[in-house]
A and B are shown apart, each in its own frame.
Chain A
Amino acid sequence: MIDEKYIELIQADVDGELPEQARAELSRYLLAHPEARALRDELGRIHEVLARVTREDPPPGLRETILAAVRFRARPPVRGQGREAAWTAAGMLRYAAVFAGGLLVGAAAWQAGVDRASVFEVSEVAGTMVAGDPVSRSAPVDSFDVALDQVGGTVSLFGSPSMRVVQFDLDFRGPADVVVAHDGEVARFSGFTGESAGRNGRYALVLDGPGSMESPVQVSFVVDGRTVQTGTLHAAAPH
């Protein structure tokens, strides 16, 4: 039976946190108590096993995804609606945070140098949307269906007084690019394949340019270099 005090000292020794003044005392104890030496060896083996485990690199693009989301949050409130803008921005952050996993599209957005848009994957959206989120509680302003061999689903435009979000509920069955044109800017999101379908479902593109409240959003799907479908989303749905 090892005295509790020495168990603590043995552990501190193995962890490199043994006070210098306790070193001699522990040495004497170890010499006299083989079970204490066995414990020290055992803890040392656990250390060795754990030290052999590789520290993994984060997935490529993760940092860019984080910074893209934060960049959106960092922008100042727009159009004199400071209070609401801040509230909705926080809501969108949670929206992005909860569903995270925007690596694929987020990285694409970053690489494309999209300056006024942040894009997030929002799979697993059902039932977990935060209360008060502008997207979760509102109906789409406009939408269109996509029915191609490579991709199917719906693209919808949601709006609040200070922000608009293009939501993609898409099932990719083959390689396809998505091109979004809005307010004089064009962003291309590539890298979607059938393999990405495992986690796909819902993506959101946040529009925050100065003209974002009125300008129509044109969304095109490109397969093998050819535009195979284009849809336009209007801020005010056409009557």
Chain B
Amino acid sequence: MATDSSHSPELTPERSSNPAETAGIDASLRTPLVALIGSALVWLLVASVLGLVSAWKLHTPAFLDACEYVTFGRLQPAQTNAFIYGWGFNAAFAVSLWLMARLSRAALPGCGVLLVGTLFWNLGVTVGIGGIILGFSTSIEWLEMPGFASPLLLVAYALIASWSLVVFRAGRSGQIFASQWYLIAALFWFPWIYSVAQVLLVFAPVRGTVQSVVHAWFSSNLLLLWFGSIGLAAIYYFLPKLLLKPVANYYLASLAFWWLVIFGSWAGISTLIGGPIPAWVQTAGAAASFMLVVPLVIIGMNHFGTLAGRWSALKDNITLRFVAFGAAAFSLVLLAWVLTSIHGIAAVTQFTFVTSAQAQLGLYGFFTMVVFGSLYYIVPRVLNTAWASAPLAGVHFAASALGVILLVGSLAVAGITQGRLLADASVPFAAVTKATESCLFAGTVALLILAIGQLAFALNFFWTLARASACCVKSAKGLLSAHSEAAR
């Protein structure tokens, strides 16, 4: 890699902006970001509680089984939806808005509509999750929220996401960095896949198993092209910025981007291998999944090539640690995707906990970890104050990393055990369930560890927020008294 990179596009993207300008951008984002991050954290904790109860039920079925509102079939979708739409989307909005503003070098022109959108979004998620618990679930995985909540979400999405594009259009940056490609793609895709899925599955259902195709298309795109894009945007931004070096092999990044968006949007169908859908669809899905090898290699080269030789930097930078963990997890997500679309492997892993392990690896190991890392960088700049507690941040990282590894590992082992035993018809079904119990218990412990990390983070965030607002009040008072003194 050339050492003289002061003019190359792959170095820290907004290098030509001055500190006063970035401070102005950060200040303009303060209110909406506090609202988004605050609500994201509340949902994260709600999802954790729901997740712990439903995980406990997996190995202790008699736990809380007298009341229909807390059956596994309702709590588990409630947990997933709280995590995806409550935590995931609020956090993704916050990170994408901040990244877009910084990269485009534009301050937010106003935040009223954005706040209304945030309010509506959270209202929609609350109504939706309440609906699931009360028995209005659609029973469509990742779309369980009833039809009376989803239009609200779409409207709120439009109110929030359009601001990222407004900021992009108003920007003064001459170039478009890799992070921005991913952000533009993600912001544009979600309303499309979500509205198509809502119409074709909930409001005017298509016939028969075309529904399954639409559903697989939606859920894989949500994971890979929405959460994937937002996470990748953050990784592409923070690695060069914090390591003060250009992205390695940046010239390949655009190839990976186009490859991922073209084949990634077809890859989800591989979950339907062996299903009651046309054979060509299954084959196309498997082939597209296999094509993910290319972005896997290129994105790996971009990320780990940038990190190479600078591993010591991980020690003293919490953002970098989280982001590097997320980058590694993303490689594993793609690798697992490729592997489980191979026929012989799918025969074992299909319909087992391996699918949950994959979802957790993508949603927690990759997306959530990258978002945590980003927030460690964003929050102090937006609030204009340092994090309240460094030890809490350390606890957060340790608990998150350990929890993710234990959770994904235990679910994967449980799933492979389950898949192998299910394929052997001489093993009674109950014995299959028994064989996975210890792994599922380990999964519950992992969720508990993750929850400790989340609590540490939430505590740290609200503490920092309280300090920042106390600081604001103090300086305002100081200003007032200085003013009155001057008047005197």
Tell me, yes or no, whether A binds B: no
